Amino acid sequence: MIVILKENYDKEQLNSLEKWLKSMNLSMQISNGFHQTVLGLVGDTSGIDEDLIKALDIVEDVKRVQEPYKKANRKFHPKDTVVDVDGVKIGGGKFNIIAGPCSVESRQQLCLIAESVKKSGATLLRGGAFKPRTSPYSFQGMRADGIELLLEAKKLTGLPIVTEIMDLSQLPLFDDVDIIQVGARNMQNFELLKALGKTDKPILLKRGLSSTIDELLMSAEYIMSGGNSKVILCERGIRTFETATRNTLDLSCIPVLKERSHLPIIIDPSHSTGVARYVKPMALAAAAAGADGLIIEVHNDPPHALCDGVQSLTPDEFDDLVKRVRAIEPYAIKYGRES
């Protein structure tokens, strides 16, 4: 962190700043220029609130030269993280496709979809048991029964399962879930992130609707700082002024996240576009741009789906998507190195 002092700064105040920094295990290197004095803070500045320093009378400006996330940062972990999910490896050059219904609706619905997406080449099964809905009157999910059905579908197909947790109180129900999803609306539920950091479960962390890339990485840092390094990032579209799609898919986050972090990145073209016919083109673009995988909503009867039918692919459409994605995989951009 670099601190630029105002001209004619008060020496006493500089001494007290130095004392305070010392108490935080930081030292400072002073460079006296002709007009300006610049301090270089030496040590771990991740716990320092730069606005606190900026607010001091003697300070003109403060610049961070190092990101406040350490564990999620590629600088300190140059090789790609590969998350092992019950034998399925996510990250480090492997391309995975997570597919399944938005919500678990019944045994028949889930098993039918699970078997068909497996046949098409999906490597993991998704399905919401707890559903974060905008309206309290919309279908809220099958909850604990939904998780039971996901476990049955796993037995049937062998596909590891991904499902969303909405609240800490639900955690005991997730003992046998392979990947716990943190939905966009919970990306900054810091107590939830801290608790998940104490588990050893892989976490699919979705980017918040109006969160920046660095905020997503800080949320990953919350989980990782608790000791759980199995974090998989997910871009699912952000809110912009555009209304033609449900959200705006920020595919440029792929090269940015790959540069800043070693964590795998999964793209969700279903929630970002919100329209089934837009899902395939964006899935192909994500694969070409070097994502580590996709998460796609698939339903056997989209018009009658209890949630997100408009953006759900039929099993046949999904089958075609997988074929096309696999065909372009060899040409996809590759980042980082395998650990």
Which residues form the interface with ligand PEP (CB under 6 A)?
102, 128, 132, 183-185, 206, 236, 271
Residue 132 near which of ligand PEP, Mn ion, none (CB within 5-8 Å, type-dependent): ligand PEP
Cβ proximity to ligand PEP: between 269 and 336 the closer is 269
Measured CA to CA, the distance from residue 265 to residue 267 in angstroms comes to 7
Q: Which residue is nearest to ligand PEP (CB)?
A: 183
Measured CA to CA, the distance from residue 330 to residue 268 in angstroms comes to 21
Cβ proximity to ligand PEP: between 3 and 307 the closer is 307
* 182-to-167, 168, 207, 271 alpha-carbon distances in Å: 10, 11, 9, 14
- The least CB distance from residue 3 to ligand PEP, in Å, is 39
- The least CB distance from residue 317 to ligand PEP, in Å, is 18
Cβ proximity to Mn ion: between 43 and 274 the closer is 274
Cβ proximity to ligand PEP: between 222 and 335 the closer is 222
- The least CB distance from residue 333 to Mn ion, in Å, is 28
- The least CB distance from residue 165 to Mn ion, in Å, is 15
Among 102, 104, 322, 325, binds Mn ion (CB under 5 A): 102
Establish if 105 lies at the interface with Mn ion (CB under 5 A): no
Chain centre to alpha carbon of residue 277: 24
- The least CB distance from residue 136 to Mn ion, in Å, is 17
Residues 256-315 that bind Mn ion (CB under 5 A): 308
Q: Choose the binding region for Mn ion from 60-68, 98-106, 135-143, 260-268 (rule: CB under 5 A).
A: 98-106
- The least CB distance from residue 268 to ligand PEP, in Å, is 6
Cβ proximity to ligand PEP: between 102 and 313 the closer is 102
Residue 184 near which of ligand PEP, Mn ion, none (CB within 5-8 Å, type-dependent): ligand PEP
Radius of gyration, CA atoms only, the chain: 23
Cβ proximity to Mn ion: between 178 and 268 the closer is 268
Using CB under 5 A as the criterion, which residues of the chain lie in contact with Mn ion when the complex forms?
A: 102, 308
